[in-house]
Amino acid sequence: MSGQIFPGCSASCIAYITTSTADPSVDYWRTYVQSPTDGLIHELALNDVNSLNYIERTFNIGPLPRFNTPIAAVNWNGIEEASTPMMCTTDVALTTLQIRVYYITQDNKVQELCWTNHVWVVGATLGDAICGSIGLCAQQRAPGGVLQELRIGYQSPADPSTITESYYIPPQSRWGVRTYPSMM
């Protein structure tokens, strides 16, 4: 993403996460943004909070993002990594650093990208989002670093007046879908 992050008056969605280390004075910061020039999602990795020397990664895996896609991200388990390979969200043994980035594809699908065992891989395609949707959110519950649940919210064409949620609970080893009530 050579040059400015937001050249001119372009708009892009942003997602942030922070990962911890065994040293309480050290954290790693990650920013996810869609480049207005190439349309891809980029990760800006900041490993020294006393500087702005980011390491940039371009996600050139998975389906192409929709222009002006919303982005959501979650993480758990700090920055500690295991030496054995882990799978994406369908693996029940998610006990090392995990990062998930979600976006909407050009085909209006909610797509997952997974950081696991020092590599980014394409994760699950979760569901349909309405054309032009700006809503996308992600939550995780991982007490003690063990994933208990992932929840990804978006606006679905099946019920655009409320939030549709794809959820993953490891013992079930599959994604489920539920819809919030239409009235609050």
Displacement of CA 35 from its chain's centroid (Å): 16
Q: What angle do CA 178, 143, 138 make, to 5 degrees?
A: 40
Kindly report the CATH number assigned to the domain that includes residue 135: 2.120.10.70
Residue pair 46/31 in contact by the 8 Å Cβ criterion: yes
In a domain, 1, yes or no: no
In a domain, 7, yes or no: no
In a domain, 151, yes or no: yes
Confidence bin at 152 (pLDDT 50/70/90): very high
In a domain, 9, yes or no: no
Could you report the per-residue pLDDT of 163-179, keeping only the tens digit for each? 999 999 988 888 999 99
List beta partners, residue 120. Answer: 115
In a domain, 33, yes or no: yes
The pLDDT mean for the chain works out to 81
In a domain, 25, yes or no: yes
Please determine, for residue 88, whether its predicted confidence score (pLDDT) is greater than 60.
no
Confidence bin at 184 (pLDDT 50/70/90): low
In a domain, 94, yes or no: yes
Residue 67: give the domain boundaries. Answer: 14-179
Residue pair 102/168 in contact by the 8 Å Cβ criterion: no
Cα–Cα distance measured from residue 184 to residue 181, given in angstroms and rounded to the nearest whole number: 7
- Which residue has better confidence, 10 or 119? 119
Confidence bin at 24 (pLDDT 50/70/90): low
Q: What is the DSSP letter of 51?
A: S
Cα–Cα distance measured from residue 88 to residue 82, given in angstroms and rounded to the nearest whole number: 14
Query: How many Cβ atoms sit within 10 Å of the Cβ of residue 153?
Result: 20
Could you report the per-residue pLDDT of 108-149, keeping only the tens digit for each? 999 999 988 778 999 999 999 999 888 999 999 988 778 889
In a domain, 5, yes or no: no
Mean pLDDT of the region 8-27: 69
**Domain count of the fold of the chain:** 1
Q: What is the DSSP letter of 82?
A: -
